[in-house]
Amino acid sequence: MVQETGKFGIVVSQYFRNYYRSRSFYLMLVISLLISGLMTYFSLKYIGNLHVTFGGVSFSSLSSSLKESAVLYLWAFVLSYLPVFSAVFFGSPAISSEIENKTAYHIFPLPIKRSTLLFGKFTAAVAVSYIIVSIYTIFEIISYVILFGSFPGIVFLYSYLLLLLFIISITAFTFLVSSIFNKNMYAYITVFLLYYLIFNALYIILDFLYNYNAFFLLSEAASIIERVFIDINTTVPGSATISLNGAGSGPIGIAAIVMVIYAVISIAGSLILFDRKEVK
């Protein structure tokens, strides 16, 4: 007899197959390749003009390590949008589509725990998002090697690991939103509104009115992916400061904890909601 752990593997492979054959996956693939191509072009062609971004300091006059950090920062800055779009495409309809598309009639009567179904689908969604961002990361590494003649160092690895953690937490967050609704469109819109409007509005209000850094927002925690290279600190209202050093272990730890908390709470919430989900 197949145990629940065995069923988990079967569920993951089933949903992974359904995801990577979907139009959403190919759309994200195209977007990832397009952004990767643009960033590669930018890196190789206009690398000498980076002083525009770095406060008038000529890029050629920067130290070697700072140049490397600057390039990786820019790649990571652009990258931070990709997991969000990927999670929206794969996570937002994850639960709601089972109801809207009536596939719930096919899977709910199966002899499997809803938690196994949810974790299996979640794992598959995270895996396809990893593929999407990994394509970008491969382009990033190639560009880096061409520019600097070596592979990026340990900080790049930190950034990549934080990126993987962010994908888990943002996907979990979209699963939670998806499990609230029975219509995909509501889930899509809600995720976008929460992440890009509500989170940003909260950040600005707390920063400008109360001089408080909203470190607990997922969008703020996600900024650590690029801040490990160059730490742009906006804790002082209206006067963002730039530290040319990367964020230290303190901010990295806090951001990682925030992302883990989002992931755990979101998955727990979606599990409770999915377990109670009924097709009326």
Partner 1 sequence: MASVDVKGVSKNYGNITALKNVSLSLDTNGCIGILGPNGAGKTTLMKLITNIIKPSTGEILVNGTNVSNDPSTALRTVGSIIEQPEFYTYLTAYETMMFVCRIKGGTKEYCMSEIDRVSEITEVKGFLNRKTGTYSRGMKQRLALAVALINNPDVIVLDEPTFGLDPKGMSDIRNALNRIREQRNSIIILSTHLISEVKELCDRVIIMDEGSIVYDSEVDSVDKSLRVRFYEVPADGLNSIANEPVIEDGGKTAIFRVGKEVPNYMIIRDLMSRGAKIRDVEESSGIEEKYLEIVGRGKD
Per CB under 8 A, residues contacting partner 1 are 1-2, 4, 7, 10-11, 14, 17-18, 21-22, 101-106, 108-113, 276, 278-280
211: left (phi over 0), alpha (psi -120 to 50) or beta: left
Tell me whether residue 18 or residue 234 sits nearer to partner 1 (CB atom). 18
Rounded-to-integer distance, Cα 52 and Cα 7, Å:
54
**Please, what is the minimum distance in Å from the beta carbon of residue 115 to partner 1?**
11
Antiparallel, parallel or unpaired: β 231-233 and 241-243 = antiparallel
Distance of CA 42 to the CA centre of its chain: 23
State in angstroms the smallest separation of the CB of 4 from partner 1: 7
Q: Residue 13 or residue 243: which is nearer to partner 1 going by CB? A: 13
Tally of helices (H runs) and strands (E runs) in the chain:
13, 2
DSSP state of 113: -
How far apart CA 80 and CA 183 sit, in angstroms, is 27
Compute CA 189 distance to the chain's CA centroid, rounded to the nearest angstrom: 17
Q: What is the nearest approach in angstroms of partner 1 to the Cβ of residue 130?
A: 19
**Structure-token match 């719930």, residue found:** 104
Which of 20/192 has CB closer to partner 1? Answer: 20
The partner residues of 231 in beta bridges, in order of sequence, read 243
Closest contact distance (angstroms) between CB of 23 and partner 1 is: 9
Q: How far is the CB of 114 from partner 1 (least distance, A)?
A: 8
CB of 116 to partner 1, least distance (A): 8
In this structure, how many other beta carbons lie within 10 angstroms of the beta carbon of residue 167? 26
